[in-house]
């Protein structure tokens, strides 16, 4: 079933994943009536790519705050599908817990309320693998699925906020709408997302250039994860949106969450960085800078120092215990349920995903080198 005639709202449309969802919708669903792209701010590149679109679909740019209830009410008027990808992502503690909760949890609830008030039929939430874990013990999961039993006690403010927001989304499923319809919701839990424009990959590239074109090893080779290409995550959103319009398929999807991965090889985070860029001359350290247990307790020490300094100065450590566990725990998941319920099959194979990402990296490296060169102090003249 197509999305012909649908008016769709995409939140977080200026972000890494949100932009890809919008572009794929415009490319694949030519008979969409309208896409409303919502974000707090859009980069020039994102704004230009949306406004320069020459197809039949109307593209409306909405700049506003996800915490503004009045703004959200206006944004949802006349819409039948919402894809909610907006969120603050923070694994280092750069953002206050209160702010993360307000955006990721309260903002999601305000959006759900606006949808119900405006008779929005379908709501797709972009959740996260971190809703599951890893937990504070670093218990591994190998090829898990939606029925895998796991003690998902998590302490990261970001992970907790995504878990609460996802729960609110799934709880809202089945609510009665004012026009007599039923509100249908679901959630997608992508594994670690890589691809062109990845802010995390950009950060690692900058560090590698400063480290003589060598990635610092941040994860053990044995800590296998299954990263997913950004184009495949966007594709999963479109497929489940179509399936929700099919009453027979929708009854299996509503109120459910789905893990989204693809055929990217299972490897560690550090080895993914290397695999994507080794042909460009970048390397990776052979081992962690210190034993894993020592890293964990060193991270704890840094957290204690940060806490003690808080009344006087803001100090954010470069890593913490949550990040050490996240990067060094085997955590892989199957997409079988998504394939069964709404026909998800990766649109982009690993070879193509790797090639596209590597080409982007090749274009970014000279920019990063020039940027870092300009930041270095110029030699003084006598």
Per-residue pLDDT tens digits for 278-331: 999 999 999 999 999 999 999 999 999 999 998 899 888 988 999 999 999 999
pLDDT value at residue 381: 57
Residues 6+ apart with CB under 8 A from 37: 10, 13, 14, 18, 22, 50, 59, 60, 61, 62
CB atoms within 10 A of CB 220: 18
Domains of the chain: 7-199+226-266+333-351 (3.40.50.720)
Residue 254 backbone zone (phi > 0: left; psi -120 to 50: alpha; other: beta): beta
pLDDT value at residue 371: 64
- Residues 185, 125: contact at Cβ < 8 Å? yes
Note the pTM of the prediction, 2 decimals: 0.94
Residue 26 half-sphere exposure toward CB, CA atoms < 13 A: 23
CB atoms within 10 A of CB 240: 26
Per-residue pLDDT tens digits for 171-202: 999 999 988 899 999 999 999 999 999 999 98
One of 54, 98, 162, 354 is an active-site residue; which one?
A: 162
Q: Is 48 a catalytic residue?
A: no
Distance CA 43, CA 1 (A): 33
pLDDT by residue, tens only, the chain of 382 residues: 789 999 999 999 999 999 999 999 999 998 999 999 999 988 888 888 888 877 889 999 999 999 999 999 999 999 999 999 999 999 888 999 999 999 999 999 999 999 999 999 999 999 999 999 999 889 999 999 999 999 888 789 999 999 999 999 999 999 999 888 999 999 999 999 999 999 999 888 888 888 888 999 999 999 999 999 999 999 999 999 999 999 999 999 999 999 999 999 999 999 999 999 999 999 999 999 999 999 999 999 999 999 999 889 988 898 899 999 999 999 999 999 999 999 999 999 999 999 999 999 999 887 767 666 666 565 555 5
pLDDT value at residue 123: 98
Distance CA 332, CA 329 (A): 10
pLDDT value at residue 30: 85
The dihedral of CA 202, 206, 212, 218: what is its sign? Answer: negative
R_g of the chain, CA atoms, integer Å: 21
């Amino acid at each position: 079933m197509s999305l012909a005639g649908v008016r769709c709202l995409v939140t977080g449309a200026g972000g890494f994943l949100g932009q890809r969802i919008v572009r794929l919708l415009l490319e694949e669903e030519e008979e969409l009536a309208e896409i409303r792209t919502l974000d707090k701010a859009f980069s020039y590149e994102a704004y230009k790519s949306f406004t320069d679109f020459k197809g039949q679909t109307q593209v409306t740019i909405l700049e506003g705050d996800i915490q503004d209830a009045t703004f959200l009410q206006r944004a949802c008027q006349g819409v039948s599908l919402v894809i909610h990808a907006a969120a603050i992502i923070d694994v280092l503690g750069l953002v206050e817990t209160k702010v993360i909760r307000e955006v990721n949890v309260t903002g999601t609830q305000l959006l759900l309320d606006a949808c119900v008030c405006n008779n929005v039929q379908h709501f797709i939430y972009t959740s996260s693998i971190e809703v599951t874990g890893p937990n504070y013990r670093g218990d591994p999961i190998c090829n898990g699925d939606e029925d895998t039993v796991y003690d998902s006690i998590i302490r990261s403010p970001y992970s907790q906020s995504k878990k609460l927001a996802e729960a609110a989304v799934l709880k809202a499923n089945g609510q009665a709408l004012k026009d007599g319809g039923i509100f249908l919701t679901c959630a997608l839990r992508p594994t670690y997302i890589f691809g062109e424009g990845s802010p995390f990959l950009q950060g690692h590239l900058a560090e590698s250039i400063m480290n003589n074109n060598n990635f610092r090893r941040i994860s053990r080779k044995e800590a296998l994860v299954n990263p997913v290409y950004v184009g495949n995550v966007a594709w999963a959103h479109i497929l489940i949106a179509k399936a929700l319009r099919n009453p027979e398929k929708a009854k299996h999807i509503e109120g459910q969450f789905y893990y989204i991965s693809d055929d990217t090889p299972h490897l560690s985070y550090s080895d993914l960085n290397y695999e994507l860029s080794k042909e460009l001359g970048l390397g990776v350290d052979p081992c962690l800078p210190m034993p894993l247990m020592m890293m964990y307790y060193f991270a704890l020490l840094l957290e204690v120092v940060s806490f003690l300094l808080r009344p006087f100065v803001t100090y954010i450590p470069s890593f913490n215990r949550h990040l050490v566990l996240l990067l060094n725990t085997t955590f892989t998941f199957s997409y079988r349920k998504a394939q069964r319920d709404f026909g998800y099959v990766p649109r982009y194979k690993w070879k193509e995903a790797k090639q596209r990402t590597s080409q982007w990296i090749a274009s970014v490296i000279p920019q990063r080198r020039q940027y870092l060169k300009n930041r270095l102090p110029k030699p003084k003249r006598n």
